[in-house]
Amino acid sequence: MSDSIIFGTDGWRASVAEDYTFDIVRRCTQGFADYLHELGTADKGPVIGYDQRYRSEHFAAAAAEVMAANGIRVWLTDGPTPTPVISYSVVAKGACGAVNITASHNPSTDNGYKVRDETGGAIAPDNLKRIETLIPAIDGVKRVRLNDALEQGMVSYHDGGPDYLAQIGRLIDVRPIRDAGLRIVVDCMWGNGIGWFTRILGGGKTEIIEIHNQRHPLFPEMIRPEPIPPNVDAGLARARELGADVVIMNDGDADRVGIGDEHGRFIDQLRVFGLLGYYFLQVRGERGPIVKTISTTKMLNKLGKLYGVPIHETGVGFKYIAPKFTETRALLGGEESGGYAFRGHVPERDGILAGLYLLDMMVRLDRKPSELIELLFSKVGAHHYLRIDNRFPAQEKASILARVAAARPNTIAGMAVTDIVTVDGHQFLMEDGGWLLIRFSGTEPIIRIYCETTREDKVDRILQDGMQIAGLG
């Protein structure tokens, strides 16, 4: 009975009031409750959290009511909470998983429903399908009043902050960052990252300046709370005015990170992933597998060869990364969207921890962000990336997909095509070591066209050829 409720690359999202309603949230929760009972882990109870969007706290309360009615004890966050804090709370509480009411980086009109397993990470695709099949019609949903559930002890309010901060202290020594005298601008994007960098790094010589750090569900000065251009433009301009050494940007639920350099210029997500790879392999001297989606940088493949570590490539989304990350005990995992996971933590994106690691790299090497990029390129060569998104009428999806699947170009942007990979979408590998990827979004009616190349002069031409392959040019 799931109807149009399809869990994509990272849960289910929809437009509030049109498709995303209290009844749909209750139905999803009933399906997840039945799944937990079927799995035999319901007695551990889930964590339920939410973001800063309109009425998210009320949607979370509705989910808690359904869980309680199904005899499942719940830890309900006592305020808007970053996704990585919710995920770590699962581990800290020994919970069976989590429900997270958030649409992450989507426009202000949307909200979403994420589920997580007992590791705090994304649930594997086959199990997501099972949850979908268990979603009932509304008359099959059990429900109690939240106040009654609180009185009965079936729902308890929970602050995940102390456990998460203790975990951060085990993973990284933040004192050198706090005492480095940096000027750090943090663009909270009106989201769940508000206050966290100040909380972690405040009180020393380093200055933390937060912007967009109030609840504002309309997300002014940006199209959506996603840390990529043009959403970051206002924040970067403010950082230039303030003379910041670096800009840290988190998306709406703070599981992704964006970085701006000392000149207020955006550093794309693939370069950030490359920097993190170099940080762990060279600066910290650690070794272990790296898990990456096909939509992210080949710089990691080059680093893997240099430092003798395996690189595993998956489909797009943490529902693919998290299981592989756990299976391989990976050092680092991540995707093109700016979400990265780290060994010793949870198999989930953590935009706060990622920002701290990058600051630690700056302090340890005594280099500005632009200088770190130069250092990375000295090892793997310069790489250039760009992505364009195109909305399309739903009825045209099949024909677009057929055109892309049938395409067998000999060259792209004048460079020979050496292979075609169809792990998730269609990726055309090119002679320079670069690639063109065409794939549909798993959460929105969008076709994405990505490229990475060592030839800066070829970027626009590669994307134009991608548009033509999809029949959109």
Domain ranges of the chain: 12-164, 172-380, 384-469
Q: Find out whether the peptide bond into 230 is cis, omega within 30 degrees of 0.
A: yes
CB 29 within 8 A of CB 98: no
* Higher per-residue pLDDT: 81 or 424: 81
Do 314 and 320 form a contact (C-beta atoms < 8 A)? yes
Mention the CATH class of domain 172-380: alpha beta
The pLDDT of residue 1 is 45
Q: Is it the case that residue 55 has pLDDT exceeding 80?
A: yes
| pLDDT for position 443 | 64
Separation between Cα atoms, residue 457 and residue 364, nearest integer Å: 34
User: Which residues 6+ apart lie within 8 Å of 146 measured at CB?
Assistant: 61, 64, 65, 68, 155
CATH of 384-469, one of 3.40.50.1820, 3.30.310.50, 3.60.10.10, 3.20.20.70: 3.30.310.50
DSSP string, 328-362: HT-SEEE-TTS-EEETTS-SS--HHHHHHHHHHHH
CB 400 within 8 A of CB 391: no
pLDDT tens digits for range 327-363: 999 999 999 989 999 999 999 999 999 999 999 999 9
Amino acid at 369: P
Is the confidence at residue 447, as pLDDT, over 70? yes
pLDDT, tens only, 60-117: 999 999 999 999 999 999 999 999 999 999 999 999 999 999 999 999 999 999 999 9
Structure tokens at 187: 């663009």
Say yes or no: do domains 12-164 and 172-380 share a fold: yes
Query: What's the one-letter identity of residue 151?
Result: E
**pLDDT over 50 at 15, yes or no:** yes
- Give pLDDT, residue 3: 57
pLDDT of residue 2 exceeding 60:
no
- 393 band by pLDDT with thresholds 50, 70 and 90: confident
Check whether 9 has a pLDDT greater than 90: no
Q: Does domain 12-164 fall into CATH 3.40.120.10?
A: yes
Q: Structure tokens of 456?
A: 């800066």
